[in-house]
Amino acid sequence: MISKKSSSGNKGKTIRSDCYIELELKTSGGIKIKLQSKVESMYGNSIRLLIKDILKTFKVRNVSVLVDDYGALPFTIAARVESAIKNIFTEIETEFLLPFNKKSSYKTTKDRLRRSRLYLPGNEPKYFINAGLHKPDGVILDLEDSVAPASKHDAKYLVRNALRSVDFYGCERMVRINQLPAGLEDLIFIVPNNIHVIIIPKVEHAEQIKQVEEVVSEIKKKRNIKNDIFFMPIIESALGIINAYEIASASKDNCALAIGLEDYTADIGTQRTEEGRESLYARSIVVNAARTASIQSIDTVYSDVTNMEGLRESVIEAKSLGFDGKGCIHPRQIEVVHKAFAPTEPEIEKAKKIVKAFKEAKKKGLGVVSIGSKMIDAPVVKRAQKTIELAILNNLGSKNFRKE
Amino acid sequence: MKLVKNAAGRFVPTLVNGEKQIPFRGVNKYKPKSHKAAPPIRSCIDYPWDGNKVQKNLREALKKAGLKNGMTISTHHHLRNGDALTNLLFDTIKKMGVKNIMWYPSASFPIHSHLIKYLEDGTIHHIEGSMNGPLGRFASLGFMKGTGVLRSHGGRYQAVQDGEVKIDIAVIAAPQADQFGNANGLDGPAACGLLGFALADSLYAERVITVTDNLVPFPCIPWQIQGNNVDFVVEIDSLGDSSKIVSGTTQITKSPDRLLIAEYVADFIEAAGIMKDGFSLQAGAGGTNLAFAVFLKEKMKAKGVKARFMRGGSTKYLVEMLEEGLTEFILDGQTFDLEGVRSMRENPNHVNTSPFTSYNFHGKGNFASMVDVAVLGATEVDVNFNGNVVTHSDGYLLHGIGGWQNCLYSKCTILAIPSFRDRIPVIVDEVTTLVGPGELIDVIITERGIAINPKRKDLIKAVKNSGLPIRMIEDIKNEVDEICGGKPANPKTNKNKVIAVIKWVDGTVIDSVFKVKG
């Protein structure tokens, strides 16, 4: 027998931009909605209409719905109602999907900049809507560690709706799925819905990437999804480090390899320190594995959000180890990360020379690029071009870089 | 109630609480003539030769002041949400059986929800002053007997000076006072900084009572309030809860979105060329305002720029700028934290100002219009740059005007606001209540971009190549509507029932607040 009662969402004095839904199925009496909302006078009617529309989609005809609304946006209300309905009707495959936000049609590329990625707890809608304004290179809607077990079900619907509705202002849209195998079930919520990068946590074997790849390609085929979707495995254990290169090269869709140090240090039986000697080996392995597989390497998060100087130093260290990016857990960290990853004056000068030499060689139809007698390899040219790009992004040097 | 359409296109009553009103005629279009109001002639022979005006208690002082039904009693908000005196005052008036008082506070706070029972039982007839929180809700639902009147800090002074409001008894909370009635706010358990809001009342009221919990021997120096103007002095145990009078520390917002707005504000002030040697600014104490001052400070340091004066709302952040030589003066309108109080006590360049010296419509000049840039907040702004600070989009009266209207006269008025709060749009088609005309509002800075009033071609030109996210205000509004799921419905109000009127700085009625259908 199915349960007749269900709830979803969050309630309480501190809740903002969210709502709490309680459903009770009845055998008669039609639809009864009891709404308490701080925006009743402005959006009360539109909230009721939305809820009725959702109930109709799922053919729920006799139900009492209690809504405690704290200014939730439509995508949140829709996610909460659907989650509550599907708590009861676990077998329904129908989805209630809001239209795609037209501003979110932008795509991503395998080698785009990934200096910063901002973690957003997947069941906290209040953080979603303005995340892109802080201009991280990517946002991560997290289904894993930042979501309490009891909220995992809710979070999937919320993250799905956010991917479709929220304008992230050009940021790369990433989702961190749950640790496999549970994470494989998250994929149906995200693959058809405008995702750029799937972050796979706690990876220890190449096989796990292949599993994800397989499910993703099945969903893509079934739903006729054409856009590129890349993977970013996170290594968070000693075994993962041992298998780093196999993991990094397990799929052509891998775009980056990341390291998570909280779990890694626990796994090797130590603690994170400010100077990080305990993780130097692992971090270097990750950088080397990623480079060998021709993908980016991304460093762990810096967890003290009040210590901007500590963050800056940690990014400079990450950069010197060879990392391309850093995780962020607070929007204020983003600018610090970007500035610390910005090329230095000598780096820019050197890059300029290389790019110039490259262009001249191309013009002259030469196959080999050289400065003086020194030969320059293709990857070095590519890296130099990236340095120039970064310099422009950070408003460093002259504005006429491209012309120069 | 008969309503007419004023120059701003708003419907306002011509009669409020039996008094004839002048509908708003436009910015700088109205000035009253004739002579200023004046207090009655008093003579020193009617006062104790030894200068001791101390009474047994508040009741005695009120009785001697001639308290009777229908009088106007004024109080001041220097003690903010820690104020125990106003509640005690009305408890006493209630016990004396006096009714139909018009309460004329310079502002009210949530602690004054204690007075709702006196509004219900007829002790208080109506409030002319800000109605915040529960009081605002009470008034909005139409429960107040009379009609509320909201004025700016400057407008309150104007109303007293041109005789629109006649104060019968002014009750002044004084953190430090002597037996003669000289008083200041600089010391004592209820220290609050300055007493500027009480200045008009001390000069123009029929009777003036100084109430203190810190009686010092004559002379109480400096005398922010002069004993010459005081009739009676009362000593009580405590003026209030000092932790709620000033905060130990004022906190900068931690919200990354608000910090982003604050950063844009500082960036804009620099990019527009306002931040240069000898400039002046007005800063408030909202979390966003504090943060912008901190960002601006870094920019000033980096460029070696010094301000001539800053107006506040002083906090430790302004005090730091004064002490680090980044501004030569603080012209202080009210003091928000203990560092502000200390600085005012110790530093002669931290100057006590009242609404009279800063932005009184009947002053011979106006500080507010001399300020280079003022950064303010708002509850709503519309696509014509009109601003609202008193009601929310649900129609409920929730805030006072404070000095907001007065500060709009600055050379560059910036409203630093989120484009929406949760699902409540802040940028709207038309403000629920018009408090500030758009022609005085120059720049709207939100987390989603900066809108410059098309009238300010100079500012538009100045920041053209700054890289700042300059947008059309309609464009930001459309984005907000899209995020919130369509335009918000208008508040459900009764357009025939005015529960309060909003005064413009010249005393004319700029808009009405209507009864909310609760």
A334 near B CB under 8 A: no
Ordered strands of the B413-416 beta sheet: B350-352, B327-335, B307-314, B279-282, B373-376, B413-416, B443-446, B449-452
Judge if A25 and A79 occupy the same domain.
Answer: yes
Q: Please judge whether A43 and B393 are an interchain contact, meaning their C-beta atoms are less than 8 angstroms apart.
A: no
- Indicate the SS3 state at residue A112: coil
Q: Which of these, A124, A166, A123, A135, lies nearest to A332 by C-alpha position? A: A135
Nearest-Cα distance to chain A for B447, in Å, is: 7
- For the stretch B263-316, pLDDT in tens is 999 999 999 999 999 999 998 667 788 889 999 999 999 999 999 999 988 889
Pairing, β B373-376 against β B413-416: parallel
Judge if A174 and A293 occupy the same domain.
Answer: yes
Residue A364 lies in a domain: yes
What is d(CA A274, CA A295) in angstroms, rounded to the nearest whole number? 27
Residue in the structure block whose two tokens are 């003036």 = B208
CB atoms within 10 A of CB A349: 13
Determine contact, residues B111/B148, Cβ cutoff 8 Å: no
Determine contact, residues A258/A236, Cβ cutoff 8 Å: no
Query: How buried is B141 (Cβ within 10 angstroms: 0-12 exposed, 13-18 middle, 19+ buried)?
Result: middle
The dihedral sign for the CA sequence A9, A15, A19, A25: positive
Task: Give the per-residue pLDDT at A1.
Answer: 47
Pairing, β B443-446 against β B449-452: antiparallel
CB atoms within 10 A of CB A374: 8
CA atoms within 13 A on the CB side of A277: 0
Judge if A143 and A54 occupy the same domain.
Answer: no
- For the stretch B247-262, pLDDT in tens is 766 778 889 999 999 9
Q: Please judge whether A332 and B488 are an interchain contact, meaning their C-beta atoms are less than 8 angstroms apart.
A: no
pLDDT at A151 over 50: yes
Q: Could you tell me which chain B residue has the CA closest to the CA of A131?
A: B257
pTM passes above 0.90:
yes
Residue A189 lies in a domain: yes
Computed over every residue of chain B, the mean pLDDT equals 94
Nearest to B447 among A130, A167, A395 (CB): A130
Nearest-Cα distance to chain B for A388, in Å, is: 19
Question: In CATH, what number is assigned to the domain containing residue A52?
Answer: 3.30.230.10
Judge if A257 and A115 occupy the same domain.
Answer: yes
Q: Can you read off the two tokens belonging to residue B436?
A: 């500030």
Question: Which residues on chain A are in Cβ contact (under 8 Å) with B489?
Answer: 41-45
Chain A and chain B share a number of CB contacts under 8 A equal to 67
Sequence-distant (≥ 6) Cβ neighbours of residue B44 within 8 angstroms:
none
| B256-492 CATH fold | Glutaconate Coenzyme A-transferase (3.40.1080)
Q: Please judge whether A73 and B483 are an interchain contact, meaning their C-beta atoms are less than 8 angstroms apart.
A: yes
Judge if A277 and A317 occupy the same domain.
Answer: yes
| Domain span holding position A59 | 5-88
Sequence-distant (≥ 6) Cβ neighbours of residue B401 within 8 angstroms:
B130, B150, B151, B152, B153, B155, B389, B390, B435, B502
Angle at B362 between CA B360 and CA B367, to 5 degrees: 40
Computed over every residue of chain A, the mean pLDDT equals 93
Residue A397's pLDDT band (cuts 50, 70, 90): low
CA atoms within 13 A on the CB side of A305: 12
Sequence-distant (≥ 6) Cβ neighbours of residue A277 within 8 angstroms:
none
Determine contact, residues B230/B201, Cβ cutoff 8 Å: no
Q: What is the ipTM of this complex?
A: 0.90
- For the stretch A29-54, pLDDT in tens is 999 999 999 999 999 999 999 999 99
Task: Give the per-residue pLDDT at B249.
Answer: 65
Strand partners, A5: A24
More confident residue, B337 or A159: A159
Question: Which residues on chain B are in Cβ contact (under 8 Å) with A41?
Answer: 393-395, 489, 491-492
Sequence-distant (≥ 6) Cβ neighbours of residue A352 within 8 angstroms:
A384, A388, A401, A404
- End-to-end CA gap in chain A: 73
Output the DSSP codes for B169-218.
EEEEEESEE-TT--EEBSSSTT--B--GGGHHHHHH-SEEEEEES-B-SS
Q: Can you read off the two tokens belonging to residue A350?
A: 């050197």
Q: Could you tell me which chain A residue has the CA closest to the CA of B479?
A: A167
Nearest-Cα distance to chain A for B484, in Å, is: 6
Sequence-distant (≥ 6) Cβ neighbours of residue A168 within 8 angstroms:
A104, A131, A132, A139
Write b or e for each residue in B93-126: b if 16 or more Cβ atoms lie within 10 A of its Cβ, otherwise e: bbeeebbebbbbbbbbbebbbbbbebbeeebbbb
Pairing, β B176-177 against β B183-184: antiparallel
Q: Please judge whether A70 and B484 are an interchain contact, meaning their C-beta atoms are less than 8 angstroms apart.
A: no
Q: How many domains does chain A have?
A: 3
Judge if A212 and A252 occupy the same domain.
Answer: yes
Judge if A333 and A380 occupy the same domain.
Answer: no
What is d(CA A229, CA A224) in angstroms, rounded to the nearest whole number? 13
What is d(CA B8, CA B26) in angstroms, rounded to the nearest whole number? 7
Q: Where is the domain boundary, A57, A88, A119? A: A88
Which of A121-130, A348-357, B158-167 is predicted with the least confidence, judged by mean pLDDT? A348-357
Residue A46 lies in a domain: yes
pLDDT at B128 over 80: yes
- DSSP element (H, E) containing B424: strand B424-425
Phi, psi for B471 (deg, rounded to 5): -135, 165
What is d(CA A329, CA A146) in angstroms, rounded to the nearest whole number? 11
Give Cα separations from B500 to B52, B120, B441, B503, B513 (angstroms): 41, 17, 24, 10, 5
What is d(CA A14, CA B490) in angstroms, rounded to the nearest whole number? 27
Question: In CATH, what number is assigned to the domain containing residue A188?
Answer: 3.20.20.60
Residue A136 lies in a domain: yes
Query: How buried is B235 (Cβ within 10 angstroms: 0-12 exposed, 13-18 middle, 19+ buried)?
Result: middle
Residue B173's pLDDT band (cuts 50, 70, 90): very high
Question: For testing the chain A interface, which of B423, B426, B427, B479 should be mutated: the one with the most A CBs within 10 Å?
Answer: B423
Residue in the structure block whose two tokens are 């009253």 = B32
Give Cα separations from B295 to B288, B314, B411 (angstroms): 11, 16, 21
Q: Which of these, B291, B277, B261, lies nearest to B372 by C-alpha position? A: B277
Determine contact, residues B436/B386, Cβ cutoff 8 Å: yes
pLDDT at A219 over 60: yes
Nearest-Cα distance to chain A for B427, in Å, is: 14
| Own/partner long-range contacts of B27-35 (Cβ < 8 Å, ≥24 apart) | B27/B437, B27/B439, B27/B440, B27/B504, B28/B506, B30/B506, B30/B507, B30/B508, B31/B361, B31/B506, B32/B162, B32/B506, B32/B507
Mean pLDDT of B164-173: 97
Task: Give the per-residue pLDDT at A403.
Answer: 55
What is d(CA A270, CA A272) in angstroms, rounded to the nearest whole number? 7
Residue A103 lies in a domain: no
- For the stretch B379-401, pLDDT in tens is 999 999 999 999 988 999 989 99
Q: Could you tell me which chain B residue has the CA closest to the CA of A329?
A: B256
Task: Give the per-residue pLDDT at B135.
Answer: 94
CB atoms within 10 A of CB A187: 20
Q: Considering chain B, what percentage of its residues have pLDDT values greater than 70? A: 99
pLDDT at A401 over 60: no
Which of A195-209, B137-151, B193-207, B357-371 is predicted with the least confidence, judged by mean pLDDT? B357-371
Q: Please judge whether A134 and B260 are an interchain contact, meaning their C-beta atoms are less than 8 angstroms apart.
A: yes
Q: Please judge whether A43 and B421 are an interchain contact, meaning their C-beta atoms are less than 8 angstroms apart.
A: no
Q: Where is the domain boundary, A326, A341, A356? A: A341
What is d(CA A92, CA A2) in angstroms, rounded to the nearest whole number? 13
| Own/partner long-range contacts of A216-219 (Cβ < 8 Å, ≥24 apart) | A216/A187, A216/A191, A216/A253, A219/A187, A219/A188, A219/A191, A219/A192
CB atoms within 10 A of CB A329: 16
- For the stretch B446-474, pLDDT in tens is 999 999 999 999 999 999 999 999 999 99
- For the stretch B397-417, pLDDT in tens is 989 999 999 999 999 999 999
Judge if A170 and A268 occupy the same domain.
Answer: yes
Residue A102 lies in a domain: no
pLDDT at B335 over 80: yes
pLDDT at B493 over 60: yes
Phi, psi for A122 (deg, rounded to 5): -70, -10
Chain B interface with A: residues with Cβ < 8 Å: 256-257, 259-260, 393-395, 421-425, 447-448, 467, 483-486, 488-489, 491-492
- End-to-end CA gap in chain B: 21
pLDDT at A385 over 80: yes
Residue B361 DSSP class: T
Residue in the structure block whose two tokens are 């932790």 = B243
Domain boundaries, chain B: 53-128+165-245, 256-492
Judge if A350 and A336 occupy the same domain.
Answer: no
Output the DSSP codes for B472-513.
-HHHHHHHHHHHHTSPPPPP-EEEEEEEEEEE-TTS-EEEEE
Sequence-distant (≥ 6) Cβ neighbours of residue A327 within 8 angstroms:
A116, A117, A119, A258, A298, A299, A300, A301, A302
Sequence-distant (≥ 6) Cβ neighbours of residue B349 within 8 angstroms:
B322, B328, B329, B330
Nearest-Cα distance to chain A for B253, in Å, is: 12
Q: Considering chain B, what percentage of its residues have pLDDT values greater than 90? A: 86
Residue A236 lies in a domain: yes
More confident residue, A382 or A200: A200
Residue A399 lies in a domain: no
Question: For testing the chain B interface, which of A120, A130, A166, A333 should be mutated: the one with the most B CBs within 10 Å?
Answer: A130
- Give domain B53-128+165-245's CATH superfamily: Glutaconate Coenzyme A-transferase (3.40.1080.10)
CA atoms within 13 A on the CB side of A318: 30
Residue B449 DSSP class: E
Judge if A223 and A187 occupy the same domain.
Answer: yes
Sequence-distant (≥ 6) Cβ neighbours of residue B92 within 8 angstroms:
B58, B59, B62
Q: Do domains B53-128+165-245 and B256-492 have the same CATH topology?
A: yes
Q: Considering chain A, what percentage of its residues have pLDDT values greater than 90? A: 81
